[in-house]
Structure 1
């Protein structure tokens, strides 16, 4: 469950950060072809001369600084949006639902008129994600600050998903290590562990196949 929620937060922040309006504007500016030379600002950029203007009034340093700022602003804006009340729960596109392995439990409980327990569990998972989302921002900021000129130019020349791929590659390992205690705290804080236990305790009364009601143990059993 921790991994399930972490993945949802991570994916939402990645998408929000790399699709920020500021980043789109910068990409449009530096990749637009000059009608005279047929080249764009980023076409003229090289990693060898980071302080020399490209011929369009922008040096590589200017370009990379602009990229870092656009990503930082995007990450900050997305973090604030996700960590607000209903940041996850109120957005159908990213709302966290019961994981696949628990969907049989959900359908069974709803069929016997105990859907309210499922609803409470789902709400608490989303509240945990909203509470924990603010903790991801600093991890992204560190990755952005550490971006080299080479990394930046690869992003600018790499197409629509280059920024997403860079952040995924440079933050996934750190996120996994640093975010685990954040998620654990948020799960307890939002009563997600309590509602999870309530849901599966009730389910076990009707099912021949028993499920561990302890969230931590359940997660461990599935190597999450």
Structure 2
């Protein structure tokens, strides 16, 4: 028995790191009995809870506008528009312009929530254990990296419709026309639909990450047996 043990150590000593990792990967699951598939299910459950608990907050009135984590501010190109309008006494119109950008995002996220839910269902966690043991927002960043481009394509027309629904297109057309008519200013014609689409998506991922961190750091946020079982592994 002792000879076999020393022979095993000798073999290990001459194996490359890659070969050793391959051996480790083939070992049975840990005594917890939780498989990679179950961990992946737990990660999806955490992301789903983030959508249900945090992203739904964004769909309420002022969900973006009064949330400092995700409030959509003016792009750099329009900051000069904002300042110029305030300088000529149109502060209330400038305020309304900022507000309707956020209103469009709030309306769009409400309409598009099923898009995010389907994205979570369709995601495959190839390395669920490493994601589980990663940073507080590792699952959210993984989701963003694999869905953001496709979600942008689906979300853009929703934002466009919401712009019309809340009157943002008319308000900003008025704002930009007034600015462009101010003497000695260079005309602007920004693609606000594109900008708000990107900012709204960032806000959605940020709020999902908020809930993921809570689940990772607070036992009370693990609302199901699956979440308790899976995230106990990273405690």
TM-score normalized by the length of structure 2 = 0.63
What corresponds to 1:194 in structure 2? 170
Is 1:54 paired with 2:27? no
Which shifted more, 119-128 or 159-168? 159-168
Give distance in 1, aligned partners of 2:154 and 2:168: 20
Kept after mapping to 2: 8 A contact 1:47/1:149: no
Kept after mapping to 1: 8 A contact 2:36/2:128: no
Kept after mapping to 2: 8 A contact 1:187/1:193: yes
The one-character-per-residue Cα deviations of 1:129-154 (angstroms, maximum 9, x if unpaired) are 10011344333323322333524223
Change (3 A) 1:173 1:184: same
Change (3 A) 1:143 1:154: farther
Give distance in 2, aligned partners of 1:70 and 1:64: 10
Is 1:167 paired with 2:139? no
Q: Secondary structure at the match of 2:126?
A: helix
Change (3 A) 1:112 1:189: same
Give distance in 1, aligned partners of 2:109 and 2:26: 38
What corresponds to 2:66 in structure 1? 90
Change (3 A) 1:122 1:95: same
Give distance in 2, aligned partners of 1:135 and 1:151: 32
Give distance in 2, aligned partners of 1:197 and 1:182: 19
1:169-184 equivalences in 2 (<5 Å): 169-184=145-160
1:34-113 equivalences in 2 (<5 Å): 54-113=30-89
Q: Which runs of 5+ in 1 are unaligned?
A: 1-45
What corresponds to 1:147 in structure 2? 123
What corresponds to 2:108 in structure 1? 132
Change (3 A) 1:149 1:112: closer
TM-score normalized by the length of structure 1 = 0.66
Q: CA RMSD in A?
A: 2.7
Kept after mapping to 2: 8 A contact 1:76/1:137: no
TM-superposed deviation, 1:173: 1.4
Change (3 A) 1:102 1:56: same
What corresponds to 2:230 in structure 1? none
Question: Higher relative contact order at CA 8 Å, sep ≥6: structure 1 or structure 2?
Answer: 2
Q: By percentage of residues, which structure has more helix?
A: 2
What corresponds to 2:228 in structure 1? none
- Number of residue pairs the alignment of both structures matches: 172
Give distance in 2, aligned partners of 1:47 and 1:160: 25
